Structure 1
Amino acid sequence: MREFLDKLQELIKKEEKFCVATVVRTIGSTSAKAGSKMIIGKKGEVLYGWIGGGCAESSVIDEALKAMKDGETRFLNLSMEDEITGTGMPCGGKMDVYIEPYLPNPKLLILGHGRIAETLCKLGKLMGFDVIVNDSLADESKFLDAKEVIKDDLNYDKIKVDEDTYVVILTMHKNDDKILKKVLGKGAKYIALVASKNRTKIIFKYLLEDGISEEMLREVNAPAGLDLEAKTPEEIALSIMAEIIMKRRGGTGRPLMEIKKVNLKEEEKEVNLKEKVEVVGLRC
């Protein structure tokens, strides 16, 4: 158990994605026993433990990769009736496995300063983001919720973008084009440019002339935010954060009353918990 906990701490410190698979119940003849654990890394590699090997392990790894992608836990019922003898688990047994993904906080990269940026920083922390502010004029006393404030990066060489990064550019149009060149095509989850429609056209035209493709420019959400008729800096920040949450969770941005209309004549449906248990075929 100590080795298991040490490995968890190591992965958490590195801010890496991983899954923990735990055998919660076995029926019949199985190699793994209840309580057996396995840690699966972001590429599907086994970092610790064992839950039976063979087809059972392959099936759990497949589901772990899906869990790391969508952030959802899984409860698997693995039946070994079709298991080939000699692959690590005898025929006839059944095993329930709980898979729990551990994901580092997504990053909110704010490039700029001012009241919109300050409010975004506060909202980002509340929403569970690790906020990084990169701007030479940023007042650290106004970004107390930021995990990091970078002020010595005039060429934006310290910008790090990955699939869990949300980028908001609000430099008051001083370095918009320079920053976009740094973040486009890097796989960011979301890129927003705080600019008017006309200003956006000017920036896009310049970038096209500079060799940036139209396909890459489609990554940019500009003007940024959802249509809330926002007027104040705080309202604008809220509209941008709403768009970020929509992107992160796969929402539509539509009013819930349109999507989940209340029908007083509709009978309530009972929730069958058994439907939430996924029976997975073994992958050999």
Structure 2
Amino acid sequence: MQLWHSLLQLSVLASTALPTAVAASAWGFTDATVSVHTKGAGVGAGFKEAIPDNKALSKPVSLGSADTLKVTLTAQEGRTAKRAHQVFLFLQDPETGLDISYPFSVKDNGKSRIELTQKDLPVQFLSVSEPLDARVLIGSFGEADAYNGAAFKLTVARNPDEPVPTVESSRYGKLPEIHHIFKADAQSPPLVITLVFLALVLAALPVLGGVWLVLGVNLNHLPTAFKSAPLPHAVFLGSLFAIQGIFFLYYTSWNLFQILPAVAVAGTVAFVSGSRALGEVQGRRLAGLR
């Protein structure tokens, strides 16, 4: 009985301590280093310092115009190295409160790295007088608390002989005039090509006439056709010549927007008058006239 009582007490103590242990789990980092390498410098030159685990570096870090800032760390949840969902380097100007975040490149084992130059910084950071606050932000899904702690102070070193870039912003002001450059109008083909195709079309007309004669065209029906339906035949032929004239104007002077309405009107007239003319031809065919 006393044994069961002792086991019950141990179970109660374990159940009360378990949530505390789970809640105590939090994100952090280890094996963190910050280094500054100058372009053109030899191997081993530059600045390199280890950042204490989950603490800030005591000495400031200087970043020149030709330098590259590199920060590496291993994200861990509790004491276990893991890949965090979000790992950022957070830079902030303590005077103005302006801030910006840069994401780390994170591997599955939690190892993270980031490289920055002055070109990656906002223009406003290039003229600050005080060092920037650099913080590390680590967070992910789950119950573990996110990490948000100071890492080091970043001093942006500028060459005094080089002008500091400025931000030009114009709100509600006059903007420069916009000059539109339109595409050049379509040009007609060279005259030689046009004459070649015209010659081919004219050469096909005798061939067409010969085919009509072989098939037995009867020109004697022309007076009968124009006598039975003079208006449809005349309008139909006139609309065909009008369409050809529109195409000639398009080649010489008109543009596409000018010929489209004209072709639409002439085409409609040709369709209506052609239907009436074909009706007259059908009547003669049904009457046995060939």
Give the alignment's TM-score, normalised by structure 1: 0.21
Q: Which has the higher helix share?
A: 2
Larger radius of gyration: 2
Pick 1 or 2: higher relative contact order, CA cutoff 8 A, min separation 6: 1
